[in-house]
Amino acid sequence: MFEFIYHLYETFNLAGLPDPHKETLHLVDILSGGALRALDGRSLQELTTKNINLDELVAQRQQGVPLEYILQQTVFMGRPFTCTPDALIPRAETELLVRTVLQHAAQLETKSPTIVDVGTGSGNIAVSLALELPHSRVLALDISPEAVSQAQKHVEQYDLQDRLTVHCGDLFAPLHSMGLENQVDVVVCNPPYIPSGSLGKMAAEIVEHEPLIALDAGPYGINIFRRLVQDALAFLPPDGLLAFEFGAGQEVLVERLLQKSGGYKQMQLVPDHTGAPRVALAQKAVPAPNLTR
């Protein structure tokens, strides 16, 4: 096992990759199905039998191709997911969003919640929630037909066809003919939140390989936030939950958007492991009674 890991490190180091330690750990983590992160005692000996062309892998990494796209797989919430350029790479930091929803879903009055995942991408959030909440009904939405196709494959991979459906359309558009107004207990979203002007400052392996539609959020990085916060109100019942991820330093803008909408209460910003706010959570407010006669 150690010889294999050392061989990976030496190969990445000799190839001149910027951070051979990180490359080695990242590769082992993906190939082990997250066992390295979970520290669950699983043996990594089987990695030596993986069918990997290391020379080809290194050549593609030198060109900036993300490791997840080279391997066509990644790990999210401890589960394997297929990874292609048709959808954004599921990242570990987004697990905070899933854990936040799970924690608060347990406090809902219903034990069979209806959940809508807006901008589902590969479906990693929707699948994870459906698996963790076995009595839930989940609808996954995305504007990209290619992403919808990838998400559907994950639905079938985890045998969730009876509880998780995938629909193609812009934001909440697929729901308009389903009669789900005031019927969705949780709306969850990992939206694009990178300001257009900041895309050029991002790592080349992100902007040159991942779908820009899943990254670019307009001049201030809040184009989707505005629509999400406002449009979710039509589908959430009173006390229904809205949860979404946002970028570093965007907490003030997010808080103002939620407050200005006038439709939410008990708003909170959930910090990540560094203490930085990264997930917004809010409940739909109960409408004030109409006292006019």
pLDDT (tens digit per residue) in 223-249: 889 999 999 999 999 999 999 999 988
End position of a domain, from candidates 10, 42, 63: 63
- Examine the domain organization and report whether 182 and 112 are in the same domain: yes
Taking residue 4's Cβ as centre, other Cβ atoms within 10 Å add up to 15
What pLDDT digit, counting tens, does each position of 154-212 carry?
999 999 999 999 999 999 999 999 999 999 999 999 998 787 777 777 777 777 777 77
Task: Name the residue range of residue 43's domain.
Answer: 2-63
Identify the band that residue 108 occupies on the pLDDT scale cut at 50, 70 and 90: confident
pLDDT for residue 43: 47
pLDDT for residue 205: 74
Identify the band that residue 41 occupies on the pLDDT scale cut at 50, 70 and 90: very low
- Containing 278, the helix (H) or strand (E) segment is strand 277-284
Q: Flag whether 218 is in a domain.
A: yes
Residue bearing the bigger pLDDT, 273 or 290 = 273
Q: Tell me the Cα Rg of the chain.
A: 20
Q: What values do phi and psi take at 152, rounded to 5?
A: -65, -35
pLDDT for residue 214: 75
pLDDT for residue 51: 63
141 - beta bridge partners? 118, 167
Quote the CA–CA distance of 221 and 3 in Å, as a whole number.
45
End position of a domain, from candidates 44, 63, 82: 63
Q: Are 169 and 143 in contact (CB under 8 A)?
A: yes
Quote the CA–CA distance of 68 and 42 in Å, as a whole number.
21
- Examine the domain organization and report whether 236 and 151 are in the same domain: yes
Helix axes 124-132, 95-105, angle to 10 degrees: 30
Q: What is the CATH number of the domain that holds 232?
A: 3.40.50.150
For residue 43, the 8-state DSSP code is -
- Examine the domain organization and report whether 18 and 149 are in the same domain: no
For 95-143, what is the HEC assignment?
Answer: HHHHHHHHHHHCCCCCCCCEEEEECCCCCHHHHHHHHHCCCCEEEEEEC
Please, what is the end-to-end C-alpha distance for the chain in angstroms? 77
Q: Tell me the average pLDDT of the chain.
A: 86
pLDDT for residue 45: 47
Token representation of residue 38 = 């979970």
Q: What is the number of structural domains in the chain?
A: 2
What pLDDT digit, counting tens, does each position of 88-99 carry?
999 999 999 999
3-state DSSP call for residue 7?
Answer: helix
Q: How many residues does the chain have?
A: 293
3-state DSSP call for residue 74?
Answer: strand
Q: Flag whether 18 is in a domain.
A: yes
Identify the band that residue 50 occupies on the pLDDT scale cut at 50, 70 and 90: low
What pLDDT digit, counting tens, does each position of 67-82 carry?
999 999 999 999 999 9
What pLDDT digit, counting tens, does each position of 23-33 carry?
777 777 777 66
138 - beta bridge partners? 115, 164
Q: Flag whether 201 is in a domain.
A: yes
